Amino acid sequence: MSTVAPPEPEAGTEARRHGGTGPARPRRLALVASKGSLDGAYPPLILAATAASLGWEVGIFFTFYGLDIVNKRKNRRLKVSPVGNPAMPVSVPNLIGALPGMTAAATAMMQGWMKRAKLPTVTEFLDIARESGTKLFACSTTMGVMGVAEQDLVPGVDIAGAAGFLDFAADADVSLFI
């Protein structure tokens, strides 16, 4: 997995002190994953795996469409839309992109790129996350909005509200909404 997380031991063992007087503790990364597309799922999963490999403490908070990433019925078939995305490497006119089958084609294309770049799949990244101790949270508020039940989630995901995320992020070195 060297393409994802080139190990940098010095950075990984570097710890932060509170005001120079408190005890050393690991760096912390707090992520919100709000997108449910294949190309929206990869950035938080890559950052989480990289940070964990460097010895950081990592938490990902899945919310809104991002709940699909930890939805066991959906996370093996996240899609890429060719429509409304003028930056797709192979440019697709919107009208063509709207034709039946084009979302499947764009999805297959990006899956091929991910494979070529030797990136793990979404489910493999979730395995890496669990093995490395990354905390996975499903947002309780938006589970209600999106009609997601606890039994829809992959194993190892806890349920937390926005307050839980803020509490975790308050002490993070880096917090990102993706």
Looking at beta carbons only, is 29 or 128 nearer to its own copies?
29
DSSP 42-87: HHHHHHHHHHHHTT-EEEEEE-GGGGGGGBTTTTTS-----TT-TT
In the bound complex, what is the minimum distance in angstroms from residue 118's beta carbon to its own copies?
8
In the bound complex, what is the minimum distance in angstroms from residue 155's beta carbon to its own copies?
22
In the bound complex, what is the minimum distance in angstroms from residue 102's beta carbon to its own copies?
7
Looking at beta carbons only, is 157 or 165 nearer to its own copies?
165
In the bound complex, what is the minimum distance in angstroms from residue 44's beta carbon to its own copies?
9
User: What is the Cα–Cα distance from 84 to 20, expressed in whole angstroms?
Assistant: 49
Q: Yes or no: say if 52 and 11 are a contact pair by the CB < 8 Å rule.
A: no
Looking at beta carbons only, is 46 or 130 nearer to its own copies?
46
Question: What residue type is assigned to position 142 of the chain?
Answer: T
Looking at beta carbons only, is 97 or 153 nearer to its own copies?
97
Residue 73 has φ and ψ, to the nearest 5°, of -85, -25
User: What is the Cα–Cα distance from 133 to 178, expressed in whole angstroms?
Assistant: 21
